[in-house]
Amino acid sequence: MNSLKVLALFLLFLLALPLQAQADAKNKAVPPITLTGKVDVLASYLAGAGLEIESRSLPTLVLKVRKGSPAFYGGVDEGDRILEGTIKDNRLHIKIERKGKIYLVKLRAKKAPVPPLTGKDRRQMLKGGQKAGDYHLVILLDRSGSMVHSLGDRGVSRWSWLAKEIKDFASRLDQQDHARFDLGLFNESCIFVPDIDASKTKNLIDRTITTGSTDLLPALAKATSHYQEKAEKKEESRPLLVLVFTDGIGLNQQKPEATTRSALGEFLHSNLEKDRLSIIIFQAGFSEEGSRFVSRLNQEAGGSCIKTVLFDKIREKGLYESLPALLQTD
């Protein structure tokens, strides 16, 4: 009986040898990973080597080199242009261009968390069909007296439709993206609640009474200032997306004291890169006042970071489903 067991084990050993040989041959035959074109793995390996790059598509520029990193000791410098890369034998081989000359650099290959999107990739993100959770999202709701007017042929007021839409959006954002947002309610004054969840959103909206006139500028200033504070503290790296819901009535009102308006325009112009900011104003019907407001604020900001969309664009699918397409058509 023992001899039969020994014989069986010997036969199994012989059968296993070809399989092991095939596995070894397969492992030795694995070609090096060549990084060309658009490759998400590139950012991970370059981050591990201590490099922050402009884009995840090659060629790309080196924006920052971390001191003490493999790239730092390998001689890579800010402003170098990475042309191509290969991962081989646990080493990252990159070809860089500097002042018209080509250099080959070999660095220790190690994956690391991908840094925040910058440059071309961030601009593409703002124009692409991304989820709301990919942005620092702010929603500003007009709670002025004119929002009690009927919304077209729906038989409901503008505020009633908007309240239901935002509560549904907050619920889906919480359940599907596990994300929160900043919420502002404005008339001639402003209530601003950062980092709000679906439950608190519902409670706040249900307690809201529409009254007074409309002044969006203080709400926008509060939202953008809050974002800048978090960015300066390194607590936020995502681009800023502000969604404004209004009927457009009273947006262009003139006041003797325009300090808030001037401060907002100067802030948008001086402190926020245009590829980090996008403002979409959803209007209940076309308003000359709203059109003039958007045009003036774009001029103050020094670029086209603001656009208007009618409520009708999101009435069929809802805000959550419609938002990616709206961000795509910039």
Per-residue pLDDT of 236-247, as tens digits, reads 888 899 999 998
Instruction: Give the three-state DSSP class for 131.
Output: coil
The per-residue pLDDT for 259 is: 45
Q: Are 51 and 68 in contact (CB under 8 A)?
A: no
How is the chain split into domains, by residue range? Answer: 33-108, 119-328
- Is the per-residue pLDDT at 309 higher than 90? no
The token duo for 130 is: 């991304």
| Of 38 and 48, more confident | 48
What is the spatial distance between Cα 205 and Cα 141, in angstroms, rounded to a whole number?
10
The rounded mean pLDDT for the chain is 76
Q: Are 283 and 308 in contact (CB under 8 A)?
A: yes
| Of 45 and 148, more confident | 148
Banded model confidence at residue 127, pLDDT cuts 50, 70, 90: very low
| Of 191 and 59, more confident | 191
Pairing of strands 51-53, 60-65: antiparallel
How does pLDDT run across 52-101, given as a tens digit for each residue?
Answer: 887 767 778 888 898 888 889 889 998 898 888 888 877 888 899 888 88
Q: Are 181 and 138 in contact (CB under 8 A)?
A: yes
Banded model confidence at residue 40, pLDDT cuts 50, 70, 90: low
What is the spatial distance between Cα 24 and Cα 298, in angstroms, rounded to a whole number?
63
What is the spatial distance between Cα 156 and Cα 248, in angstroms, rounded to a whole number?
18
Residue 63: name the closest of 43, 48, 75, 77 by CA.
77
How does pLDDT run across 107-120, given as a tens digit for each residue?
Answer: 887 776 655 555 45
- Is the per-residue pLDDT at 180 higher than 80? yes
What is the spatial distance between Cα 329 and Cα 80, in angstroms, rounded to a whole number?
33
What is the spatial distance between Cα 199 and Cα 170, in angstroms, rounded to a whole number?
8
What is the spatial distance between Cα 198 and Cα 204, in angstroms, rounded to a whole number?
10
Q: Class of the 33-108 domain?
A: mainly beta
What is the spatial distance between Cα 274 and Cα 218, in angstroms, rounded to a whole number?
20
| Whether the domain at 33-108 and the domain at 119-328 fall into the same CATH topology | no
The per-residue pLDDT for 99 is: 85
Q: What is the mean pLDDT of residues 130-146?
A: 88
| Of 132 and 301, more confident | 132
What is the spatial distance between Cα 244 and Cα 197, in angstroms, rounded to a whole number?
18
Beta-carbon contacts of residue 87 (< 8 Å; ≥ 6 apart): 32, 33, 35, 45, 93, 109
CATH 3.40.50.2300 at 119-328, yes or no = no
